[in-house]
Amino acid sequence: MSIFASLRRDQKEAIGLLQIGTFLEYFDLMLYVHLAVLLDGLFFPKTDPHTAALISAFAFCSTFVVRPFGALIFGYIGDNMGRKNTVIITTTMMALSCVLMANLPTYAEIGITAAWVVTICRISQGLSSMGEIMGAEIYVAEITKPPVSYVAVSLISVASSVGSMLALGVAALVMQTHMNWRIAFWAGALIAIIGSVARTRLRETPEFIDMKTRLKKSLEDAKADGFEKHAELLLAVRSLNKEIVNKMTLFAYFLVYCGWPLSFYLAYMYFNPLLKSNFGYSPEMIITHNFFLSLIQLASNLVWAFMCYKIHPLQILKWRGSFVFLLMLAIPLLTSNFTSSNEIFLVQAAILILTLGGLPADAVFIKHFPVYRRFTATSFLYALTRAVMYIITSFGLVYLGDYFGDYGLWVITLPVSGAFLWGVHYFIKLEIKFGDYVPRKERRIQEDELAAKGFYA
C-alpha cells in the first residue's frame, strides 16, 4: 500500500500545494544568500577584508534576526485568523520583496540607500519565510495522522531543500554565464505570485476549525449567562488556556532546533575562506561547489523523510545526533590537515547527511503544543533558534577563529550537539508517556489498522 493511499483527494492536494508553495518561498529566500558573493559588492560599500566579513555576516543575519518578530505576527494571525490565511500572506510578501530587489539601483548609483533598502527587503523575506514553513508544516500535521504525518510534514522540509537547491543552481548559472542577476529575482517574484494564487484553493484545517468552534460556543454561553464583556472573554478562553505549554517542552524544542543553523553554516559558509585561500576557489567555483552539496542534502532529506514511515522519527534523530557529536569533535582536527578540496567536500557532505535538525520529526514536535497556542509557540521558538544561532555562528566564529583557531569551533559545536541530544531524549520520554513511541515492527501494522477502520476517510 502506498504511504499516502489512505488520504483523501483534498488532503493530497493540500499537501501538494503546500510543498510547491514552500519550494517557491525558499527559492526566493535563498537566492540572495547564495548570490551574496556578487550582490554584497553591488549593494554595500567596499572595505577592508575584516570589515567586509562583518558586513557579509550582517547581511546574512538580517534575514534571520527579525524572524522572532515575524513569528509573533504570523503566529497571532495563524492562531486567530487561520493557517490558510497565513501561508497566502507570506507568499505575497515574498513576491513584493523580490520585485523591489529586481529593480533596486546599486550602491554606485544611489549610495548607502541601496544597502538599507536591500537589508529591509531581506528582513521582509525573513519575516515571510517564518510564517510560511511553520504554517505549512502545522497545516499538514493537522490534516494527517501518524505515521503518514511524519512523512507528509517532512516533505515540506524537503520542498524547502529543493527551493534552496534551485536557488543555488540559478546562482551558479548567473555567476558562470554572467547573466543579469535581476532576471533571477523577477523569476522569483513571478513564481511567488503563482504560489499565492494556488494556495487560495486550500481549506482551513479541522483542528483549527474545531478550536474556533469551541471558542465561539464559550462566548455564546458566557453571553447567555449575562456576564460582563471582560468576564465573557475570560470564560471563553478558560478551557483553551488550560492546556498551558510545558516550559520544559519549550526548552527542549528550542535546543533541538538550534542544530540546523549550525549545520547549515558549517556546511555552506564556514569552509569558504579555506577554499579561497588554500585551493584558489573563485566565487563562481564556491557556488558550484555548494550546488553539489545541496544535491546531497536533498537526497539525504528524502531518505530520512521516507525512512520515518517505518522507524520512529525520534529514533532517527537520536542516531544522527550521536554521530554528529563525534563528527564535531573531529572537524577541527581535520581542518588543519586538508590536502584537497575534495576532502572538504566530504566533511561538508557528512554534516548535511547527519545534520542536526527537526526533520523527520517535525510532526512529532508540533503535536505536543496545544492547538490554541501551536502556531505562535512553535514559530517563535523556531525563529528564535535561527536568530540566535546565525548570530553566534556568523559573528562568533569570526572572533573565536582569531583567538583559538580551528578549535574555536568546539566552543559552539559541542554544546549545541549535546543539547540537541538532550532535547531529542526529552521528546522520546513524552512519546513513551503518551504511548506514541511505536517500535518499528508495529508501525506498519498500526497504519494498516487505522486505514482499515476508515480513520482517514
Residue 401 has pLDDT above 80, yes or no: no
Report the candidate in 194, 197, 188 with the shortest Cα–Cα distance to residue 163. Answer: 188
Residue 439 has pLDDT above 60, yes or no: no
Residue 361 has pLDDT above 90, yes or no: yes
Question: How do the domains of the chain map onto residue ranges?
Answer: 9-204+243-452, 206-242
- CB burial of 428-443 (b: ≥16 within 10 Å; e: otherwise) equals bebbeeeeebbeeeeb
The grid coordinates of residue 172 equal 551558479
- For residue 218, the model assigns a pLDDT of 63
Assign domain 9-204+243-452 to a CATH class.
mainly alpha
- For residue 340, the model assigns a pLDDT of 93
- In the chain, DSSP finds a helix count (H) and a strand count (E) of 21, 0
Mean pLDDT of 361-381: 90
Local confidence band at 457 (pLDDT 50, 70, 90 cut-offs): very low
- Mean pLDDT (the chain) is 81
- Could you tell me which residue, 171 or 235, shows the higher pLDDT? 171
- For residue 410, the model assigns a pLDDT of 94
- For residue 452, the model assigns a pLDDT of 57
Using a pLDDT cut of 70, give the percent of the chain over it: 83
- For residue 455, the model assigns a pLDDT of 46
Measured CA to CA, the distance from residue 354 to residue 368 in angstroms comes to 25
267: DSSP letter: I
Using a pLDDT cut of 90, give the percent of the chain over it: 31
Give tens-digit pLDDT for 305-328.
999 998 999 999 999 999 999 999
Residue 126 has pLDDT above 70, yes or no: yes
- Please state, as a whole number, how many other Cβ atoms lie within 10 Å of the Cβ of residue 292: 15
| The most confident of 76-80, 98-102, 417-421, by mean pLDDT | 417-421
Give tens-digit pLDDT for 28-60.
778 877 777 677 777 777 766 666 666 666 666
Q: What is the pTM of this model?
A: 0.81
Give tens-digit pLDDT for 228-281.
455 545 545 544 554 567 899 999 999 999 999 999 999 988 898 899 889 999
Mean pLDDT of 372-393: 87
Determine the residue type at 266: L
Report the candidate in 64, 420, 25, 120 with the shortest Cα–Cα distance to residue 269. Answer: 64
Chain centroid to Cα 98, Å, comes to 19
- For residue 109, the model assigns a pLDDT of 87
Mean pLDDT of 66-89: 79
Measured CA to CA, the distance from residue 418 to residue 145 in angstroms comes to 30
